[in-house]
Structure 1
Amino acid sequence: MQSWRISRGARRRPSALSCGHTSARCSSRAGASGTRNPVGPRDAAGLSRGPVISAPEEAAVAMIVRKGTVPSTPHTEFYAIPNVLAREEIHGSYGFSGAWSRKVHVRFYPTEQVKPPRKGELTLEPDFPSEADILQPYHIRTGRMPFEGDALSSRKAIVHGPRTSISVSKPKQSMPTDTFFRNGERHEVYFVQDGQGVVGSEYGDLKFRKDVYVAIPKGTTYRVDLTSPKAWFLLVESIYPITFAPHYLNKEGQATLMSPVVETEIETPELQPFQDKRGEFPIDVKHSGGKITRITLGHHPFDLAGWEGALYPFVFDIKSHHGIAREIHTAPPMHQTFQSGNVPHSGFSLCSFVPVMAGWHPREVPAPYAHFNVDSDELMFFCNAFYGAREGVVEEGSFTFHPGSTPHSPQGNAAQRSLAARGKVQARLAVMLDTYFESMRITKAGFAYRDPEYVLSWSENIPHAQPAGEGWESPSA
């Protein structure tokens, strides 16, 4: 049973999805505004990484989705099974002042463990190469990383920072039956480069496919099952919730008519019949910088009669980011889809470079300018090789890491070649992330798949592969 309730709220943090949805009911759960830390955390050398703002301050109405059966009044007596009192759980963020969801377990609290916790069989702690102490840009060829294991065991961090981490996972099998994962320290968003399957959680099933984002809030218990022989994920983690950019939303939480995203194009979980099962159900919990602890519940964790709230997993297709074009070159913020933290003071912006018409000014240079954003590290994943500014250098699955301390630009004669592309649609597809006041480091896994010649690729004396031409000249995507 679902209904709508729309009301207006005070200034508050945007929810995990601060927007409306046709199968949801909207409400203004009041919350506190962000607080400022004027100094911010320090790095290993004791240097400040800039101010940290705990949460965005834009006005927004929380987007609340209801699935299954829940009591209309929170924390009241409820029975999903006759004569068995249901157990209520709050999954929250920012203490008790951020977005949250209310979950109704049919019989047990989620705290019931039947074995002492133990060290997990794997670790997700990043390891860094000493060779990476030299400042330089990197090109990591993730397409050459092997397919192996499942979505958890194949996860490899390629760049890592104090508040943000980026990994690649290339599984060729589902997670073992009745085993689960929970990221207890960071929110996640997967980008699916290839493959299809289901992310199952206590909230329900989310089907994924090529070219979609799957956002999973910190603390969600889930598993990944493949329906294809293999899959390929780019995974971004953040200590802050990952949301649509608040400047795309009006004060009611709707996407404005000028926004490149439409909030009704998200896909929410399909709640499955509750699993009222006893047994041993292991959950690998990530915490404390990538350590894994295995806890064992005595009941199946997908035991909800229903849930409602503003903190939940969802799918968003990159093709549902409707690119904005203008007469001259558009800077990267025009392509923003998500953000995490209080941009531009902390966290990151995540941009979707979808096929869009290049500028049509009669003297437009479609290739971007060289840029030197000293407060941001730029990280970019190329879904195909048709990216004009990098054609002949990148390949499918290329991941570039440009530290904020160094400028970067198109390679070789890309600017000259781009002149023929005025007013034409580019065939590019890429995911870009800019951090704010956070220095990232390449890991050993990323370093092992680097292109050692990349730092020299801007020299016009260095031969590049012949461009296919589709980055600038293709009239369609």
Structure 2
Amino acid sequence: MIDYRKLGFVSTKQHTICEYEGKMLAEHVITRDGFNEQYSILYQKRAPTHEIKVELLQHDNPFFPSFHKTNTHELKRRHFQTPIYKKEGSMLESRATLLINDNCSIGIVNLSKSDENFFSNADADEIFFVPEGSGILQTIMGEIDYKKGDYLFIPKAIPYRFICHSKSNMLVVEGKSKFGIPAEFKQPSGQIKLDAPYNHRDFKSPTRLLNFEDNENYCVIVKKDHNLTIHEYTDFPYKVVGWDGWYWPFSFSIYDYQPKTSSVHLPPTIHNVFSGNKFYMMNFVPRMLDYHPKAVPCPWPHSSVDCDEAIFYVSGDFTSRKGISNYSISFHPAGIPHGPHPERYEQSIGAKYTQELAIMVDTFEPLFVTEAAMVLEDRKYHFTWDSHDHL
């Protein structure tokens, strides 16, 4: 993950008797890659293993966690008009998976009410981007206040829920392994390098622990292999009084990202923010544009023959596109060229600054389009590169 953090009461020595308020605590170790990578230790009033009932959960959202790949195989550029997706509610009620492969998935959430139960994704790490709204991300490791512009990262299998203060139309990306800070931004010791686009202080871990003292039955919903099970306990199973380690949820504001610029246009890899196994996430943020006297700030038309590309448009007048509303997603698969609309390429000459805000996911294995995405598709999009077309 990022670095060592600590919150609340922990033992002076790992794996030894630890008492709190006169009672012995359970030491709960959460670890990756067996016991070979990052871990955290949670000190709890009891071990979280006292289920009294486990069963498959059937709920009425057909787009998550289940999904259906389409049987359409046209190789074309696509535009998913996500603002027309009207299903709202809690995170599980309003979530839809739009693009997926064996390493990651890309989806949306129209969060308009708080979650009742905690949810644990045992398949993947998750990162939510909050383009609007505010609330509290409650995790078993404590609470994080979130606001407009925040990324919210929840490590694999960490139970959490959203307390919604105002509506948020979120982007969500799942990464099955090695999801987090790109290796090129870190020293061998793990410290973030001085030339990285952010530093350790920009990542906010939970600031306060949960306070669950109820003695009533409580349920936690777990996703595994794209199925949900509901686990019922005699009381809330994660009464944590403290934790420490390297494995923890965080928030990161896109407004704290430090963009890089050049005299001529550079590839989008200079905008990397997070990465996972065979995929990268990139930020396009307000920044100074290329400053060579003959620079063309708009991206070049390109054939990135080994990458699929998906872009979530947040706000501003995007340099290379026309006719796309905020929160829409474009999808440009490998195998065919793509790039700016022709007039945008020429219009960018002489521009000094951009106010665009967008998030891109590039994958090194093909993304499959789901039926949920096809419901939202703008079927004319592939042909909007005709310079005579006016949207």
Say whether the fold is shared (TM-score over 0.5): yes
Contact 1:274-1:302 at 8 Å conserved across structures:
no
TM normalised by structure 2 equals 0.96
Counterpart residue type for residue 162 of structure 1: D
Question: Match of 1:103, as an amino acid?
Answer: L
Q: What secondary structure is seen at the aligned counterpart in 2 of 1:269?
A: coil
Match of 2:263 among 320, 327, 338: 327
Change in CA separation of 1:394 and 1:411 when aligned onto 2, cut-off 3 Å:
same
**For 2:83, what is the secondary structure of its paired residue?**
helix
Counterpart for residue 15 of structure 2? 75
Runs of 4+ in 1 over 6 A off after TM superposition: none
- Whether 1:367 aligns to 2:298 is yes
In the other structure, the counterpart of 1:463 is 390
Alignment of 1:31-50 (within 5 A): none
Given the alignment of the two structures, is residue 86 of structure 1 paired with residue 25 of structure 2, yes or no? Answer: yes
Aligned to 1:398: 328
Q: Aligned residue for 1:190?
A: 128
Given the alignment of the two structures, is residue 114 of structure 1 paired with residue 52 of structure 2, yes or no? yes
- The question of whether the paired residues in 1 share the 8 Å contact of 2:140 and 2:210 is answered with no
Give yes or no for the alignment of 1:204 onto 2:145: no
- For 2:363 and 2:110, locate their aligned partners in 1 and report how far apart those are by CA, in whole Å: 24
Secondary structure in 2 matching 1:88: strand
Residue 207 of structure 1 aligns to a residue whose secondary structure is strand
Please name the residue that 2:341 is paired with.
411
Q: Secondary structure at the match of 1:111?
A: coil
* Separation in 1, partners of 2:85, 2:103: 25
Matches within 5 A, 1:204-353: 204-228=142-166, 230-272=167-209, 274-288=211-225, 290-341=226-277, 347-353=278-284
Which amino acid is the alignment partner of residue 216 of structure 1?
Answer: I
Matched with 2:37 is 98
Percent pairwise identity: 26
In the alignment, which residue of structure 1 is the partner of 2:356?
428
Q: State the Cα distance separating 1:274 from its structure 2 match.
A: 4.2
- Does residue 377 (structure 1) correspond to residue 308 (structure 2)? The answer is yes
Pairwise CA distance, 1:385: 4.6
Partner of 1:451: 378
Report the number of matched residues: 388
Task: Write the distance in 1 (CA, Å) between the matches of 2:328 and 2:55.
Answer: 39
Match of 2:79 among 123, 139, 145: 139
For 1:118 and 1:126, the matched residues in 2 are separated by 17
Quick one: distance in 1 between partners of 2:257 and 2:237? 34
> How much has 1:265 moved relative to structure 2?
1.1
Select the residue among 434, 439, 458 that pairs with 2:366. Answer: 439
1: distance between equivalents of 2:92 and 2:210?
Answer: 25
2:21 partner letter: I
Instruction: State which drifts further: 197-206 or 242-251.
Output: 242-251
Counterpart-to-counterpart distance in 1, 2:356 and 2:191: 29
**TM-score, normalised by the number of residues in structure 1:** 0.79
Any idea what the Cα deviations from partners look like across 1:231-270, whole Å, max 9, x if unmatched? 1110000111421122122233332222211221111102
Q: Does 1:162 align with 2:99?
A: no
Measure how far apart 1:281 and its partner are: 1.1
- Partners of 1:414 and 1:405 lie apart in 2 by 23
Q: List alignment gaps of at least 5 residues for structure 2.
A: none
Aligned partner of 1:23 in structure 2 is: none
Instruction: Report the Cα distance in structure 2 between the residues aligned to 1:168 and 1:301, rounded to whole angstroms.
Output: 29
Q: Hey, what's the Cα distance between the residues in 2 that align with 1:158 and 1:239?
A: 16
> Deviation at 1:359?
0.6
Alignment partner of 1:315: what SS?
A: strand
Partners of 1:358 and 1:119 in 2: CA distance: 50
Q: Provide the rounded CA distance (Å) in 2 between the counterparts of 1:324 and 1:354.
A: 10
Question: Which amino acid in structure 2 is aligned with residue 266 of structure 1?
Answer: F
Cα distance in 2, alignment partners of residues 252 and 164 from structure 1:
27
Aligned-residue offset at 1:147: 4.8
1:136 and 1:273 mapped to 2: Cα distance?
48
| Whole-angstrom CA distance in 2 between matches of 1:393 and 1:371 | 20
SS of equivalent to 2:346 = helix
Q: Find the aligned partners of 2:77 and 2:379 in 1 and give their Cα distance.
A: 10
RMSD of Structure 2 on Structure 1 (CA) = 1.4
Which residue pairs with 1:473 in the alignment? none
Aligned letter for 2:380?
E
Q: For 2:237 and 2:178, locate their aligned partners in 1 and report how far apart those are by CA, in whole Å.
A: 23
Q: Cα offset for 1:117?
A: 2.8
Please state whether the residue corresponding to 1:334 is helix, strand or coil: helix
In structure 1, the residue corresponding to 2:390 is in which secondary structure? coil
Partner of 1:124: 65
Secondary structure of the residue aligned to 2:192 is coil
